[in-house]
Amino acid sequence: MNLADLNKVALAMVTPGKGILAADESSGTIKKRFDAIKVESTEENRRDYREMLFRSTEAMSKYVSGVILYDETIWQNAKDGTPLVKLIEQSGAIPGIKVDEGTQALPQCPGELVTVGLDKLAERLKKYYERGARFAKWRAVIDIGSGIPTMTAISVNAHALARYAALCQAAQIVPIVEPEVLMDGDHDIDRCYDVTQRVLNKTFQELRVQRVELEGMVLKPNMAISGKKCAKQASVDEVAEKTVRLLKACVPAAVPGIAFLSGGQSDEEATAHLDAMNRIGNLPWKLTFSYGRALQAAPQKAWSGKAENVAAGQRAFTHRARMNALASKGEWETGLEKKVA
């Protein structure tokens, strides 16, 4: 393992003014999103959609530091035969790959899940590296509800995240460590804060046990935020203040950067929260975005599967990427949302 090279990639992933495009939707997830715009989820349509994003020259070169791909996508070629990985590289962004294989029910823990995919991961990572991937992603899912999460669920998921991260670094691939506390419930922001604190503390404990080099990783956490069904929704400033306080309590300064997931927030909410955090300033790590739906909902709708709408889709993608790039520097304003190029 060459830590200097891992650190160089990790720092590039969190370059100020840039963020990570999470284009790693599973086949089931992308089908739901295509169903919403009345587009059949065929391999060709998925390829065309992602090619549209990766050929968005302004967005990719100015505002995107890296792209998380799904296994299908990393092996696909564009219509002209160029590997999609090459399109990403040519834009100056770094190709990455989602390597977890989804979740399974956690034995003895009703309503809780564990992420799987560690078997043969070392062999898969070698192939992904040869294809051009320089970072990877593994997502753990922690739900908040009556009596959950249990320490069992937190522990097994943190352990798996750390094992994955160690395998990545051994393969000279930067791990994105993603412990996601879901915002689906009716819990308030303080409950989210407490659970996320437990999850992050356990995750970093496991990372140390497995000898993961913190300088060669990127953290992808949820924000401290009210559950979707909570009657009292926390303000933008409260989310920013509590999330920053939480991260300062849990995340070592050795970590180069934190790239937030949007986790079901609206496009503008995700941008506003990131902006408010960066305005607080004086942080030991870079704070940026690793958004999927919050970057892609607008371009998907504008494109709607039609070749004549590719330019419109690219404009929508560029706008959302630019808004979040500004937020990653604490320079976003609501009024800029109406100035679509």
Q: What pLDDT is stored for residue 321 in this prediction?
A: 97
Tokens for 133? Answer: 């991937």
151: how many CB neighbours lie within 10 A of its CB? 10
Angle (CA) 157-159-162 rounded to 5° is 110
Q: Are 112 and 91 in contact (CB under 8 A)?
A: no
Catalytic residues: 178, 220
pLDDT tens-place string over residues 17-51: 999 999 999 989 999 999 999 999 999 999 999 99
Q: What pLDDT is stored for residue 335 in this prediction?
A: 87
Domain span holding position 325: 3-338
Q: Which residues of the chain have pLDDT under 70?
A: 339-341
Distance CA 11, CA 217 (A): 9
Q: What pLDDT is stored for residue 264 in this prediction?
A: 86
Domain with residue 144: its CATH number is 3.20.20.70
Nearest to 173 by CA among 207, 136, 204: 136
Distance CA 249, CA 199 (A): 12
Distance CA 107, CA 152 (A): 10
SS3 content of the chain, % helix, strand, coil (to 5): 50, 15, 35
Torsion of CA 151, 109, 218, 201, to 10 degrees: 0
Q: What pLDDT is stored for residue 340 in this prediction?
A: 56
Tokens for 290? Answer: 């690793």
Q: Where are the alpha helices (DSSP H) in 179-235?
A: 189-209
Residue 67 phi/psi, 5-degree rounding, is -130, 125
- Reply yes or no: is the peptide bond before residue 16 cis, omega within 30 of 0: no
Tokens for 24? Answer: 């790693």
48: how many CB neighbours lie within 10 A of its CB? 17
Nearest to 209 by CA among 165, 250, 242, 249: 165
The domain total for the chain is: 1
Distance CA 330, CA 337 (A): 15
Q: What pLDDT is stored for residue 178 in this prediction?
A: 98
